[in-house]
Amino acid sequence: MLIGQITDTHIVQADTDEELYVDNNGRLATAVAMINDESPAVSAVLATGDLTNWGHPSEYEQLAELVEPLAAPLLPIGGNHDDRTLLRETFPHMAWAETEHASWVHDLDGVRIIGLDSTIPGESGAAFDESRDAWLREVLAGTDAATPIVLAMHHPPFVTGITWMDQSGFDGLDRLTTTLADPELKRVDRIVCGHFHRPMTSTIAGITAQVGLSTVQHVDLDLQPKAPIKLVLDPPGYQIHRLSNVDSDFSMVSHTRYLETGNDGFFPFWADADTA
């Protein structure tokens, strides 16, 4: 099974005069068209937060219009630039949790995908409080032992070393680590996130956690402790996650598809003509 992941699309209203550096809306339209052309086809598309730029109703209207052509179901999670109420209203097909936080559970072809709302309204940082802890524990406890779990959230649950982004913080990270490491609960197999606009990988409680590739501008890679706020126009893209589960041996391999490089695949001269 293939699952797509888009993140940090930062959709804006059509007539904005805001300085964006790139065409945010056009980039998402390109990604949607390319995802639809993926072969084999993806079974769903995760959208891991900051889907709109300022959480305005007009931006959600634009977002809904841009993702409407997707051939696969969209599984959206809010980011710190999003509005929980408008997100729920824009995507009523989701099985939103009956909680203040906009989390959900979606079962897809034998894999359980958990969308965990890590946002704090009005703030850029993350939170995993007692309410979210109780909800996640209940979901994990109710998951069959043989069912693989992918946990999707906006904020990465690790310190990245990009100081000006890390400083927004993750309140309750120790609590999340404890829950994910609890031997009495079904173990999460992979965590996918957004927020940092650039791909990176780490672990939490021994679980691989990775950040997806934004479709807009990226955070510059500067690991100096006092590095200034800086962006970079690296190639945008999205992820394709290949999931397999043979004899209870779950595997998830993540690939990056770049947008707007102007390059198509080609057959090298040394390839066997029959296999090419």
pTM for the whole structure: 0.95
Question: Does residue 265 lie within any of the structural domains?
Answer: no
Q: What is the pLDDT along the chain (276 residues), one digit of tens a residue?
A: 999 999 999 999 988 888 899 999 999 999 999 999 999 999 999 999 999 999 999 999 999 999 999 999 999 999 999 999 999 999 999 999 999 999 999 999 999 999 999 999 999 999 999 999 999 999 999 999 999 999 999 999 999 999 999 999 999 999 999 999 999 999 999 999 999 999 999 999 999 999 999 999 999 999 999 999 999 999 999 999 999 987 778 999 999 999 978 778 888 888 876 654
Question: Does residue 239 lie within any of the structural domains?
Answer: yes
Question: Does residue 70 lie within any of the structural domains?
Answer: yes
CATH of the domain at 130: 3.60.21.10
| Residue written as token pair 């639809």 | 36
Number of domains in the chain: 1
The whole domain housing 85 covers: 2-258
Distances (CA, A) of 173 to 151, 159, 178, 205, 217: 15, 10, 9, 11, 27
Helices 130-141 and 173-181, interaxial angle, to 10°? 20
Amino acid at the residue 14 = A
SS3 140: helix
Residue-level pLDDT at 9? 98
Question: Does residue 276 lie within any of the structural domains?
Answer: no
Question: Does residue 268 lie within any of the structural domains?
Answer: no
Residues with Cβ within 8 Å of residue 121, at least 6 apart in sequence? 84
| Residue written as token pair 């598809």 | 257
Question: Does residue 270 lie within any of the structural domains?
Answer: no
Question: Does residue 275 lie within any of the structural domains?
Answer: no
- CB atoms near residue 20 (< 10 Å): 15
Question: Does residue 6 lie within any of the structural domains?
Answer: yes
Residue-level pLDDT at 271? 82
Residue-level pLDDT at 273? 61
How many CA atoms lie less than 13 Å away from 276 in the CB half-sphere? 9
Residue-level pLDDT at 245? 84
